[in-house]
Amino acid sequence: MIKFLDLQKINAQYADELKQVAAEIIDKGWFLLGERVKLFEQQFCDFIGAKHTIACANGLDALRLILKAHIELGVLQEGDEVIVPANTYIASILAITDNRLKPVLVEPDIKTFNLDISLVEQAITPKTKAIMIVHLYGRTCWSEELEVIAKKYSLKIIEDNAQAVGAYYHFNDDTKKRTGNLGNAAGNSFYPGKNLGALGDSGAVTTNDEQLASTIRALANYGSAEKYVNKYQGLNSRMDEIQAAFLSVKLKYLDAENEIRRKIADYYLENIKNEQIILPYPTAHRESNVQHLFVIRTKYRDELQKYLTKNDIQTLIHYPIPPHKQKAYAEWNSLSFPITEKIHDEALSLPIYSSMENEEVLTIVNLINKWKNDH
């Protein structure tokens, strides 16, 4: 059986180091707001290239905290509109509505699965104050055109970097920056299945804005920058010392792991040959995709998934129900987003992770190439 994602195998590579740091923390007896979180925050700043990292409990909280801080600072107000891709994972949208802001759903480009930047300008109203871009499936969503639009309308750009930690954007002048360091602030997730996965929940905000950073730091700790003095009505959203220590171990290997994912993606792209399947479109720069998910499309998605399951290959659908069709957002259920709906009907994610064996990738390719739907 080929698993969709084998976390046991991924973490087994680093088991000795992980067990050692866990033992150190148990012996020391200091579990929150300590040296390990501070160290990881510094290492993550160095990695991303951003001035500030604020560790928190998970990726959703990272996004919630960014928006909440903008509200505390008077940059955003209840009811303001935030543009967000209609096909994102629900967490991006939950962060917006949780802060009583209004998500404005914009269709993705079917070629990139990312926000269609050419549709952004027409979605802007006088209430629009921010754009939340999502580097979906590990692919960078950015363009110099987006920066121009944001500047023209004074919009904040917030990155949902949950799926793309380690990816780059290459500018026209040949310089590059990591995702998480492109907009005003970014939410990063270290959910175990993400490219940089903790052994439990955790997340982080990255930003170059010092005032935003200190506001978020206070908000994540009951709204307090000084013990028992509460400036804001905050949350409790902190990263554990033990998760920070695990992440410091795993961060060292992230670029190498992402490169293995890219090699698997290359192999899929070169060798899957089936007329009924549309492969993901390659990026101009290979570093602009950390291949969090390898998503193919076919009109006969459910049949293909059944066929692969029967042949002991696990696949997943990201995602089966778009946000506007969810019960949680009943007010949007009658809206129509044809491209988003098409993706949700046709997308299938193949296994892709750093500890996959070559033979496993080969087996998947051979099975897919043999598949034919006779509808």
- Name the residues that contact ligand PLP, by CB under 6 A: 58-60, 88-89, 91-92, 134, 160, 162-163, 189, 191, 201, 203
As measured in angstroms, the least distance from the Cβ of 372 to ligand PLP is 33
For the CB of residue 62, give the shortest distance to ligand PLP in the complex, in Å: 8
Which CB, 92 or 349, lies closer to ligand PLP? Answer: 92
Q: How far is the CB of 74 from ligand PLP (least distance, A)?
A: 26
DSSP letter string over 108-167? BPTTTSSB-GGGTGGG--TTEEEEEEE-GGGB----HHHHHHHHHTT-EEEEE-TT-TT-
SS3 content of the chain, % helix, strand, coil (to 5): 40, 15, 40
Name the β-bridge partners of 111. none
Distance CA 334, CA 142 (A): 30
Q: What is the DSSP letter of 207?
A: E
Give the other-Cβ count within 10 Å of 366's Cβ.
13
Q: Which is nearer to ligand PLP, 59 or 351 (CB)?
A: 59
| Shortest reach from residue 293's CB to ligand PLP, in Å | 9
* CB closer to ligand PLP out of 88 and 179: 88
Q: Least Å distance between CB 17 and ligand PLP?
A: 23
- Please name the residues in contact with 158: beta carbons below 8 A apart, sequence gap of 6 or more: 63, 66, 67, 82, 130, 131, 132, 133, 183, 184, 185, 186, 187
162/296 with CB nearer ligand PLP: 162
Task: Closer to ligand PLP by CB, 189 or 221: give it.
Answer: 189
Nearer to ligand PLP, 104 or 277 (CB): 104
Rg (CA), the chain: 21
Segment 2-6 long-range contacts (CB within 8 Å, at least 24 positions apart): 2/312, 2/313, 2/314, 2/351, 2/356, 2/360, 2/363, 2/364, 3/314, 3/351, 4/314, 4/315, 4/316, 4/349, 4/351, 5/193, 5/351, 5/353, 6/353, 6/355, 6/356
Choice between 193 and 271, CB closer to ligand PLP: 193
Q: How far is the CB of 164 from ligand PLP (least distance, A)?
A: 9
Least distance to ligand PLP, CB of residue 275, Å: 31
Residue written as tokens 């080969």? 362
Give residue number: closest CB to ligand PLP. 59
Q: Which is nearer to ligand PLP, 163 or 291 (CB)?
A: 163
CB of 134 to ligand PLP, least distance (A): 5
